[in-house]
Structure 1
Amino acid sequence: MDSAPSRYVIRIDGHLGTTVLSAFPALTPQHCGPHTLLTGLLDRSALYGVLAEIEALGLDLLEIQKLGPSKDR
């Protein structure tokens, strides 16, 4: 099982404010239309921690995307 960090984009419904975003210090937020994108490098444990925090805050998780390797990044 690969535990090396990977880059993820997590899409949350709605615009998250500063207070809620402070729960995700390892992720970079970006508003995209009616959603908030959280992007960052996470290992498996950190990803599950972020998902648990999303659930605990009652946020509406729309999508998790693992980004593949790219020479441009």
Structure 2
Amino acid sequence: MATTTRYVFCVDGPLSDEARSAFLGMRITEAPRQTLIDGEVLDESHLHGILAQLQALGMTVVSVRPVPG
């Protein structure tokens, strides 16, 4: 049985509408200078896919961390 891990991705600046639509199903929280995107990640391949999508959208990734629990 596969288990998912919740991750929080912190990126510089706000997300465009295009970026928001790329992360449907994930929670997006905007702070003054950064945006937090969090949600379930299926496996390492999925994690790398999310990072590639952020890069393709021109976002600067500040941090990526799994959420314990």
Query: Does the alignment reach a TM-score above 0.5?
Result: yes
Q: Max radius of gyration: which structure?
A: 1
Moved beyond 6 Å, runs of 4+: none
Q: With the length of structure 2 as denominator, give the TM-score of the two structures.
A: 0.85
Q: With the length of structure 1 as denominator, give the TM-score of the two structures.
A: 0.81
Identity in percent? 30
Unaligned runs of 5+ in 2: none
Residue equivalent to 1:63: 63
CA RMSD of aligned residues (A): 1.3
Unaligned runs of 5+ in 1: none
Q: Larger % of helix: which?
A: 2
Supply the distance in 1 between the matched residues of 2:24 and 2:48 (Cα, whole angstroms).
Answer: 15
* Count of residue correspondences: 67
